[in-house]
Structure 1
Amino acid sequence: MNRSARLVTAALTVSTAMLLTACGSGGSDDSSSDKIKGADAGAASSSSASASAASDIKRPKITLPRSLQVTFSGWKNSDPKLQAILDDGRQQLLGSYSAIVEADAESEAMTFYNTGVALTTGKEWVNGFVKNDLTLIGEARAYNPQTRISPDGSGTLFYCVDESKGATKNRKTGETTNTPADKAQVLYRTKLSKNDAGVWQTTTVTTTQGGCQ
């Protein structure tokens, strides 16, 4: 299922509160064989965007409101190259959340950290929230990231997101919809490509509801 198809379902039912289980077109060649196991017990980081190790790159500032808190557990790697993928993958997720909160599919963070299919479907995904007057509230925790660099030079990043304390909120009515418990642990499979500026941009996103149970 691709992101645009998930948007149609979301527009009709809004059954999953955070609606962050949209499936990106494509995916990595190894997405069917790699599985993330249990949660990692690493330290959590702030929901505010942190700068990547590459300080010479001018990056967009990403700030989430207090009504939406996102933490990251175990997003550290001793290999600087893999850490760079983790850093930019984290910013991509935060940028997507920020675009929804700001109701801006053309936000700087969206276009900075996404490219190709991920950018196209990501904009459609955000616009699905905008058209339905929805925003995100509550808490989300991204944990157990697993990353590597493929022989072709592309990056692969798998991780889980716990949406059990997250919800969508209608901007007009104030009505909230919580995430169903059986779908709250979402598995993300992403592919990334390093651009000329040295940024690891996400090229595809595939997600599985309940994939980290």
Structure 2
Amino acid sequence: MRKHTTIATVCLATATTLLLTACGGGGPKESSDDEIAGADTSSKSASPSPSASEDEIERPEITLPKDVDNVFEGDSTGDAKKDAVLADNERRINSIDEAITVDADEHPALKFYSKGDALMSAASYIKSFYDDGRSFTGKTRYYDREATFLKDGAAAVTYCMDATGTYPKDRKTKKVDKSVKASPSDYVFYNTRLEKNAKGVWQTTSVASTEAAKRCM
């Protein structure tokens, strides 16, 4: 296992506290369902999709360390509405990785792009890295990204993740373990539900994932 770690069981109170403190990209163990849901201190700014700068929403800045590179494919579909959904999906992933890799008093982007079950599972996933004294480094690729609008007004985003280019990093010593070999579990299929809030932000509300997904290999 490279970027992933098994999510520890965390009570609601602990997870909520986590979101308000220093520990506050989608991790593989949130659930396993292929159906569409509802159908180093230097840092760099995470690159948003082209549509990100075209709205007037005041968004929290997301920064990632220089040794963390998230590559998102297919962020422009030609449909402005779908592009907006994919852009907020991208920001949600970056917000989780920021919380894992950047030590800070708060990580406001996490709550900005996630809510409900997705927020709690993200908090548990992030906490598992801190509990293990680990972070990660390297390149993660996100591809086969598709946005679908649902009858109830929500949206579903499905995508694949390839984490074979990432490696565990000790949080204290900053030592990177490059002895870790790639495995099928580094390919994960995600199924997410997003709902548009009053500010116009597409927040992820639920996430299902499948490790060693053949469709992503």
TM-score, normalized by the shorter chain, greater than 0.5 = yes
Q: Distance in 2 between matches of 1:179 and 1:195?
A: 41
Matches within 5 A, 1:40-55: 48-50=46-48, 52-55=52-55
TM-score (norm 2): 0.76
Q: Distance in 2 between matches of 1:106 and 1:143?
A: 29
Q: Is the 1:21–1:208 contact (alpha carbons within 8 Å) kept by the matching residues of 2?
A: no
Distance apart, 1:22 and its partner CA: 2.6
1:206 corresponding residue in structure 2: 208
Q: Distance in 2 between matches of 1:79 and 1:22?
A: 29
Any idea what the Cα deviations from partners look like across 1:79-102, whole Å, max 9, x if unmatched?
111111000000000111111002
1:70 corresponding residue in structure 2: 70
Aligned letter for 2:102? Answer: E
2:135 corresponding residue in structure 1: 135
- 1:164 aligned counterpart, secondary structure: strand
Are 2:178 and 1:172 equivalent residues in the alignment? no
Q: Is the 2:30–2:207 contact (alpha carbons within 8 Å) kept by the matching residues of 1?
A: yes
Q: Distance in 1 between matches of 2:116 and 2:184?
A: 31
Distance apart, 1:172 and its partner CA: 2.6
Matches within 5 A, 1:1-213: 6-8=6-8, 21-24=27-30, 30=36, 48-50=46-48, 52-103=52-103, 107-173=107-173, 174=175, 176=177, 178=180, 180-211=182-213, 212-213=216-217
Aligned letter for 2:30? Answer: G
TM-score (norm 1): 0.78
Any idea what the Cα deviations from partners look like across 1:107-138, whole Å, max 9, x if unmatched?
11101000000111111111111121111101
Query: Unpaired runs of 5+ in structure 1?
Result: 10-18, 35-45
Q: In 2 relative to 1, CA 70–175 (structure 1 residues): closer, same or farther, beyond 3 Å?
A: closer
Q: In 2 relative to 1, CA 204–189 (structure 1 residues): closer, same or farther, beyond 3 Å?
A: same
Q: In 2 relative to 1, CA 196–180 (structure 1 residues): closer, same or farther, beyond 3 Å?
A: same
Q: Distance in 2 between matches of 1:54 and 1:113?
A: 17
Distance apart, 1:25 and its partner CA: 5.5
Aligned length: 188
Distance apart, 1:208 and its partner CA: 1.1
Q: In 2 relative to 1, CA 179–115 (structure 1 residues): closer, same or farther, beyond 3 Å?
A: farther
Q: In 2 relative to 1, CA 65–204 (structure 1 residues): closer, same or farther, beyond 3 Å?
A: same
Q: In 2 relative to 1, CA 106–119 (structure 1 residues): closer, same or farther, beyond 3 Å?
A: farther
Q: Is the 1:164–1:181 contact (alpha carbons within 8 Å) kept by the matching residues of 2?
A: yes
Q: Distance in 2 between matches of 1:105 and 1:27?
A: 34
